[in-house]
Amino acid sequence: MTDDAVARAAIVACGRELERRGLNVGAAGNVGVRVDGGLLVTPTGMALGDLDPADLVQLTPDGTCPPGQRRPTSEWRIHVDVLAARPDVSAVVHTHSPEATAAACLRAPLPAVHYVVARVGGPTVPCASYATYGTVELSAAVLKALGDGHACLMANHGMLAVGTDLTTAVALAIEVEWLAGVVRRARAHGLPVHVLPDAEIECVRDRLKTYGQPP
């Protein structure tokens, strides 16, 4: 199997996993992966859980779409811009997952109510300013909110997670969705929600560097 075929198979599997976990419904979200010569993105208007490898769209690094393919996701610009700005990132996952999208409607960061926020790279999950989907303004807002972190909310829209590969990006999207649900449930108790201090999040970030099984 060629590297291109491997990347296409991974994106198809990712779309089905997002659907299976309830993180995406229909054609709402999109996925992008860095490949030789540019990037592969999902097509616009097609359900992520129903894609075939041939449905995916290859773009050049500047976002040009060579002819003979399906139309790329309306959010192609975000994928192009994130991968251009972040050489450490090879995969971008954007979903309209319900908990994260609901939190994004508040237009505020997700606070550090749990140390899992450290996986995002900072003391909160930031929220990008609102802009119309598919626009230059939205891509700029996402880049600003993301910074050198790994996930952000998108005001009144959804969430975005990035990683060195699709497995990492999907895992982070799942954790951000879980965290958004925890924040909502904690606030529902009507008591002050205690937030972990920045120093503790930094401590957890250091500990996570050696978490899990050795490679």
The per-residue pLDDT for range 111-145, each reduced to its tens digit, is 999 999 999 998 999 999 999 999 999 999 999 99
* pLDDT (mean) for 5-10: 96
* Cα within 13 Å of Cα(97), Cβ side: 30
Q: Is residue 68 part of a domain?
A: yes
Residue-range definition of the domain harbouring residue 144: 3-208
| Per-residue confidence (pLDDT) for residue 212, from 0 to 100 | 82
Residue 80: which of 44, 37, 34, 146 has the closest Cα? 34
pLDDT for the residue 1: 47
Residue 199 lies in a domain: yes
* Identity of the amino acid at 75: E
**Residue range 188-214, pLDDT digits in tens:** 998 889 999 999 999 998 998 888 887
* Residue 211 pLDDT: 85
- Identify whether 214 is part of a domain: no
Separation between Cα atoms, residue 152 and residue 144, nearest integer Å: 10
- Residue 128: both structure tokens together: 């990008």
Here the CATH number for the domain that contains residue 121 is: 3.40.225.10
The answer to whether residue 20 is domain-embedded is yes
Residue 82 lies in a domain: yes
Distance, CA of 174 to CA of 45 (rounded, Å): 23
Residue 213 inside a domain? The answer is no
Catalytic residues: 75
Q: Give the pLDDT mean for 12-20.
A: 96
Counted domains in the chain: 1
Establish if 215 belongs to a structural domain: no
| Torsion sign across C-alpha atoms 91, 92, 98, 103 | positive
pLDDT of residue 3: 86
CB distance 149 to 161 below 8 Å? no
Instruction: Count the residues in the chain.
Output: 215
> Cα separation of 94 and 37, whole Å?
22
pLDDT tens digit string along 17-65? Answer: 999 999 998 899 999 999 999 999 999 999 999 999 999 999 999 999 9
Residues sharing a CB contact under 8 Å with residue 89, sequence separation 6 or more, in sequence order: 34, 82, 83, 162, 163, 164
Model-wide pTM > 0.75:
yes
Domain presence at residue 188: yes
Q: Within 13 Å and on the Cβ side, how many CA atoms surround 128?
A: 30
